[in-house]
Amino acid sequence: MIETLQMKQNISLKPFHTFGTSVKAAKYTEIKSKYDLQDLIPVQEPFLVLGGGSNILFTKDFEGLVIHNKIKGVGIISENDDEVILQVGSGENWHALVLWCIENGYAGIENLSLIPGCVGAAPIQNIGAYGVEFKDVFHSLEAIDLQTGSTKIFNYKDCKFDYRDSIFKNELKGKFCITSVSICLSKKPQFNTSYGVIKDVLDSSGEELSLKSISNAIIKIRSEKLPDPKKIGNSGSFFMNPIISLTQFSLLKSKFPNIPIYPVGDKEVKIAAGWLIDNLGWKGYRNGDAGVHKNQALVLVNYGDAKGLEIWNLAKSIQISVFEEYGILLETEVNIL
């Protein structure tokens, strides 16, 4: 039986994004398969493909169509003794996929445990954590052009992955809906415990090294470090860690000897944006219900009734103060709408 899409008007998006601000969409529909999309094409009004809403700050009501992605399904495309290629519906929950892969002994995304959101958004900003990036396991993806309705397969090169970046945040921003994502995982895991305190947490847990114990360690670290969006509205790291030249870094280092960095090739370094913000005393700052988290200077929060615009104004004040002190312009990791 062919079902027609249900179009709703003037819908509250509050339950559908992790900042949890009160905001409405002029039109809203849910898609459960790629065929549902065909009913909408060409999408002539402003539109937003929404996953888990964990990387978005709405500064005002959305005066267009929100297409809420609920495309599900996980299947094996091919496998051999060493690896497996999975095709995953873009509306599947990312963390649930990670746990499913661990249960089945498929390695590669365990370090990306507990990242909120849907599978379809993972390639958009090339999600990363604890020494692993989504691009490390990427095989290909299928997306539909929302003007022509044509289907396109993107391979690794097409996606132009970079640090929290891909072609979908640049040339192709807002043009495609990603409908499925294929990833290549190993059946012979090489554990990656070198980043941060993973090893210390593993050692103190007494658990044997496995995909599950790494995931447990990361879940523990993240739960202690990051606010749970179900309790305090947030979108994780609000800003990206800036990458600067070695020359600019050596000038900064003379003024701020403790500044933490991670090397990027031999000409650039990545600076911890959280440190830059924390060093200016922003951590724990609160203005009404908009604030900077008390333990994480990189995470802006909604304590209850903050408006998106108030959070955005706070973000801009932080950007200005960081620029004035260090000459570095922080770029947002969160999509501002």
Ligand X SMILES: Cc1cc2nc3c(=O)[nH]c(=O)nc-3n(C[C@H](O)[C@H](O)[C@H](O)COP(=O)(O)OP(=O)(O)OC[C@H]3O[C@@H](n4cnc5c(N)ncnc54)[C@H](O)[C@@H]3O)c2cc1C
Our finding on whether 226 is near ligand X (CB under 6 A) is yes
In angstroms, the CA 120 to CA 131 distance is: 21
62 vs 106 by CB, closer to ligand X? 62
Return d(Cα 274, Cα 276) in angstroms, integer.
6
Tokens encoding 314: 């706070």
Nearer to ligand X (CB atom), residue 64 or residue 105:
64
DSSP three-state, residue 27:
strand
- Cβ-count burial of 313 within 10 angstroms (0-12 exposed, 13-18 middle, 19+ buried)? middle
CB atoms within 10 A of CB 51: 26
> Which lies closer to ligand X via its Cβ, residue 84 or residue 300?
300
177 strand-pairing partners: 144
By three-state DSSP, how is residue 185 classified?
A: strand
Question: What are residue 67's DSSP bridge partners?
Answer: 29, 49
Per-residue mark of binding to ligand X, 167-206 (x: CB under 6 A): ---------xxx----------------------------
Among 118, 132, 198, 297, binds ligand X (CB under 6 A): 118
Q: How far apart are CA 304 and CA 271, in angstroms?
A: 31
Question: CB count, 10 Å around CB of 250?
Answer: 10
Closest separation between CB of residue 177 and ligand X, Å? 5
Contact between 90 and ligand X (CB under 6 A)? yes
- In whole angstroms, the minimum distance from the beta carbon of 282 to ligand X comes to 18
CB of 124 to ligand X, least distance (A): 4
**Shortest reach from residue 321's CB to ligand X, in Å:** 23
Contact stretch for ligand X (CB under 6 A) within 45-53, 80-88, 191-199, 301-309: 45-53
Q: How far, CA to CA in Å, does 247 sit from each of 179, 252, 264?
A: 43, 9, 13
Q: Could you count the other beta carbons within 10 Å of the beta carbon of residue 1?
A: 2
Q: Considering the rule CB under 6 A, would residue 89 count as an interface residue with ligand X?
A: no
Give the total of residues touching ligand X (CB under 6 A): 33
Active site residue 333: yes
Q: Tell me if residue 286 is catalytic.
A: no
- Work out how close the CB of 81 gets to ligand X at its nearest, in angstroms, rounded to a whole number: 31
Within 298-337, which residues bind ligand X (CB under 6 A)?
A: 335
Residue 233 in the binding site for ligand X (CB under 6 A)? no
For helices 211-225 and 94-103, the axis angle rounded to 10 degrees is 150
Active site residues: 164, 237, 333
Binding site for ligand X (CB under 6 A): 18, 48-56, 69, 90, 115-118, 120-122, 124-125, 127-129, 176-178, 226, 229, 234-236, 335
